[in-house]
Amino acid sequence: MVLAKRIIPCLDVKEGRVVKGVQFVDLKDAGDPVELAAFYNKEGADELVFLDITASFEKRETMLEVARRTAKEVFIPFTVGGGISTIEQIRNILNAGADKISLNTPAVENPSLVKEGARIFGSQCIVVAIDARWNEQLEDWEVYTHGGRQATGLSVLDWAARVEELGAGEILLTSMDADGGQAGYDIPLTRAVCERVSIPVIASGGAGKMEDFARVLIEGRADAALAASVFHYRHFSIREVKEYLHAQGVEVRL
């Protein structure tokens, strides 16, 4: 059975509002997260990802509230990420109604969190987000943490294999080189990771045209494609992307 490829809007949330920038700067307000989530639910999104980009301790309650409100409005799976670093925080987010949580920096700093999270809540709830950038010296992609600010020296491919071993159910792979540029996903990166692991990979960073979705799902072998700006600013709709993909022979849920 061929699994349908998924189209996933990403909502970056700052202090309870959705924002969008280019490579994490020049943030503009793009609306209320729950209203946008409900809109994308109607539009035919397969899933949603919320990333809390100001995930300091005092903002945590805001995100729980967003999760609670979203769970009442939306009937597709949604993931919450950003600043989740303990089992208790994972439990709280899942109890608020999220289907999955996403770990990035805390997974690198404390890999046992991935293992414990998968053991307690099941692999299907644990997504590991990997921010990747090409490193000329290493001739390899390198893992970045702290919102893309800190190089780790870790190989992306080795880290992807490691998180699969630890029990992650999915990888959310963002190309920092492509992010926000709308010039297309990073196909070589995505394909290399997809060939290295057997868990699903969500490609992120660089969607600008409908063709970009087809390329990353076909050539890049991604299981899902995530995008933000092109959907928030209505360059085209999720339905249009899916109809385009269907016409290209890509299995999608119409």
Residues 51-71 have pLDDT tens digits of 988 765 555 677 899 999 999
Predicted pLDDT of residue 234: 86
Tokens 């630890």 map to which residue? 166
The predicted model scores a pTM of 0.93
Residues of the chain with pLDDT under 50: none
Coil/strand/helix, residue 221? coil
Predicted pLDDT of residue 167: 98
Give the residue numbers annotated as catalytic, written as ranges. Answer: 12, 131
Predicted pLDDT of residue 22: 54
For the chain, give every domain's residue range.
6-247
Predicted pLDDT of residue 62: 77
Q: Which of 180, 201, 104, 185 is nearest to 143 (CA)?
A: 104
Please give the CATH number for the structural domain made up of 6-247.
3.20.20.70
- pLDDT tens per residue, range 166-201: 999 999 999 988 776 778 999 999 999 999 999 999
